[in-house]
Chain A
Amino acid sequence: MPVGGVVSFILAYLSVAAVYSLLSISMNIEYGWAGIPNFGKAAFIAAGGAAAAIVAAQLGPPLLLGVKGVVPGGLGFFAKYNALLNAYAAHPAATWGVLVLSCIIGGVIAMILGVLFTFPAVRLREDYLAIALLMAAQLVWIVLRVDKQIMGGTFSMVLPSPDFTPVARLLHVPDTVVKVLFLWGLVAVFLYYSEKLMNSPFGRKLRAVRDDEIAAEALGKNVPVSRLQAMMIGSFLAGVAGAIYVLVHLASVNPDYFLPDITFMILAMVLVGGVGNNWGAIAGAMLLALMDRVGYIIGSRLATEYGMLWGGYLYYIVYGLAIIIAIAFRPQGLVPEKPVKTPAWRVYIEETGETPRFLKPIWARLRSLRARRKGKKEG
């Protein structure tokens, strides 16, 4: 591979890893913290995708460009829509308007869907809830395929990506570099938010509900409401991430992007990275995105050069293996769950005069480990 090939591979990888990180952080709030196996994740990502399509074709033109929008599915749609795309290309600021609007609308729609889908099943056992969510997501996928007025049915719609060129010129770097930086900036925002959110009595309440819901309700926690809260937050973030996914990363949208594959991919990332740890969710996303990319390259070589057509499905094998290996050998994931950090521990340290091991910085922990080893050897 030439140098340019390696660089563009790395940039493409970093871009997809960032998008998956956004999604796995949101999945981790539901599955990792609240213990809800959200097998319907695809539907909430699709909400962001649908919002992006609606904003690009129908809401954005009157609001951002000052022209009439077009409804997908009608006669002559593509010609009119191409004219709109050209108009967006001439207005970089309007493309950013599309992104912002899509994120807000996508997040809100996803949150509403989260309540609608979860509410009837929230009192059920986790496995029933998982199945109900899986079915709901299939329903959303069918609606998106059949109702051509949302994202044009089974045809892919090209989307007006946010224009990175002005910033890229300023910094004298290629557009894709700015895009990658932007996406990782968003990952930082998601990470910051969910760390703040979870290191709180709310995070502890979710863990209590997950660990033992009977004890949680006996000690005053409203279990269905807690689950709904987690689903609402996770779904909102998934809707936002979905809009970013189709607008920034793919620059197109199609109902088939929201098949259950993506749900289980993200679930695998959370399982491998660390259930209940936000950093772990990112680690899992980065690792599986890399395996996915490499698997894709090897798989398509196998298919095209050696006629091994299963090569195209190599990534399924990769994900399946990753889940099995994680569950069998490291069920806590790459980065295990940490105790909830709140000011309560400050009180604990003040009153007892000792710092629990898990609150010490990593280097101090390593030092004490080494000291203990040494002590053993000498003793």
Chain B
Amino acid sequence: MPRDILVVEDLHKYFGGIRAVDGVSLRIPERGIVGLIGPNGSGKSTLFNTIAGRYKPDRGRVIFDGVDITGWKPHRIYKLGLVRTFQNPRLWLSLTVFENVLTSGRDQRGESPLRAPLHRLWAGQEMEYARKALDWVRFVQLGRVAASLSSDISGGQMKLTELARALMSRAKMLLLDEPAAGVNPTLAHQIFQNIARLREEYGLTFFIIEHRLEILFDYVDYVYVMHRGRVIAEGKPEEVAENPVVIDVYLGG
């Protein structure tokens, strides 16, 4: 039994009267690929936002890698190795695709304003990171647009840039909010194959929101289903697919 790398206990996040996340508890095992599904507005993205520190929870706890990170700022959570992507891509639009990925590297010496003017203090690390960034850009098949401004690429390419950016961070666990939205089914399958490969090669853990269940269910070991801010079902993909409650929610809306 692998240990649980992420534990969420009774998490609540309200927006005024809207109970976007209403008492969610879940566990993600290390090296797992776990799916999160649910109809529109069921609170999936809000759950990610609350785990990753964008929103402070109104109640509950988040424990990552044995550390209580409840209420931490996102940049500290990133440092521990939990990194997320956004449902609507949030790229740095004045930077190229290559630079978007490169900028996400951790502990860059040249980010200190005192060292920045003295290029030889960080040029070595910068070149090493540049090679890695280029590898990740190629890994998500964006080599052709690496030197394009990230404002000039398609929506699907933006999603892939988000993925490469998260991978560049050397995270232990990635929260991916619809990583294959806006890309064709062939490429979507490729993305999920790559995710499986990343788990094998680097031991990464994935928690993935995805609407296209027919693609998602081929790759995940476990699925949580959300509805109106709560987890209404969980289990292996084949169990969840046959769960009448889930079928009801998806058909009944």
Q: Please give, as numbers and ranges, the residues of chain A lying within 8 Å of B115 by CB-CB distance.
A: 202
Cβ of A214 under 8 Å from chain B: yes
Say whether B106 contacts A220, CB under 8 Å: yes
CB distance from A236 to the nearest CB of B (A): 10
Say whether A348 contacts B113, CB under 8 Å: no
Q: Please give, as numbers and ranges, the residues of chain B lying within 8 Å of A200 by CB-CB distance.
A: 110, 116-117, 119, 122
CB distance from B79 to the nearest CB of A (A): 6
Q: How large is the interface on A (under 10, 10 to 19, 20 to 34, 35 or more residues)?
A: 35 or more
Of the stretches B83-91, B192-200, B209-217, the one at the interface is B83-91
Q: Please give, as numbers and ranges, the residues of chain A lying within 8 Å of B146 by CB-CB distance.
A: 348, 352
Q: How many angstroms between the C-alpha atoms of A3 and B146 in the bound complex? A: 56
Q: Please give, as numbers and ranges, the residues of chain A lying within 8 Å of B134 by CB-CB distance.
A: 347-348, 351-352
Say whether A343 contacts B169, CB under 8 Å: no
Given contacts A217-B73, A348-B147, contact A211 B127 (CB under 8 A): no
Q: Please give, as numbers and ranges, the residues of chain A lying within 8 Å of B104 by CB-CB distance.
A: 219-220
Residue in A closest to B74 when the chains form the complex, CB atoms: A217
Q: How many angstroms between the C-alpha atoms of A343 and B109 in the bound complex? A: 14
Say whether B98 contacts A348, CB under 8 Å: yes
Cβ of B92 under 8 Å from chain A: yes
Cβ of B131 under 8 Å from chain A: yes
Residue in A closest to B148 when the chains form the complex, CB atoms: A356
Chain A interface (Cβ < 8 Å from any Cβ of B): 193, 196-198, 200-205, 207-208, 210-212, 214-223, 229, 232-233, 276, 337, 339-340, 342-348, 351-352, 354, 356
Say whether A340 contacts B99, CB under 8 Å: yes
Which of A203, A217, A229 gathers the greatest number of chain B CB atoms within 10 Å?
Answer: A217
Q: Please give, as numbers and ranges, the residues of chain B lying within 8 Å of A354 by CB-CB distance.
A: 147
* Other A-B pairs, 16, CB within 8 Å; known A216-B92, A218-B78: A196-B116, A204-B102, A204-B103, A208-B92, A211-B93, A219-B104, A220-B75, A220-B104, A220-B106, A340-B99, A342-B123, A343-B126, A344-B127, A344-B133, A345-B130, A348-B147
Chain B count of residues within 8 A CB distance of the other chain: 49
Q: How many angstroms between the C-alpha atoms of A347 and B95 in the bound complex? A: 17
CB distance from B6 to the nearest CB of A (A): 16
Q: Please give, as numbers and ranges, the residues of chain A lying within 8 Å of B99 by CB-CB distance.
A: 204, 339-340, 344
Say whether B117 contacts A342, CB under 8 Å: no
Cβ of B243 under 8 Å from chain A: no
Q: How many angstroms between the C-alpha atoms of A345 and B82 in the bound complex? A: 28
Q: Which of A339, A342, A352 is in CB contact (< 8 Å) with B110?
A: A342
Q: Please give, as numbers and ranges, the residues of chain B lying within 8 Å of A343 by CB-CB distance.
A: 119, 123, 126-127, 130
Which of B74, B108, B134 gathers the greatest number of chain A CB atoms within 10 Å?
Answer: B74
Say whether B94 contacts A337, CB under 8 Å: yes
Q: Please give, as numbers and ranges, the residues of chain A lying within 8 Å of B165 by CB-CB distance.
A: 219
CB distance from B136 to the nearest CB of A (A): 13
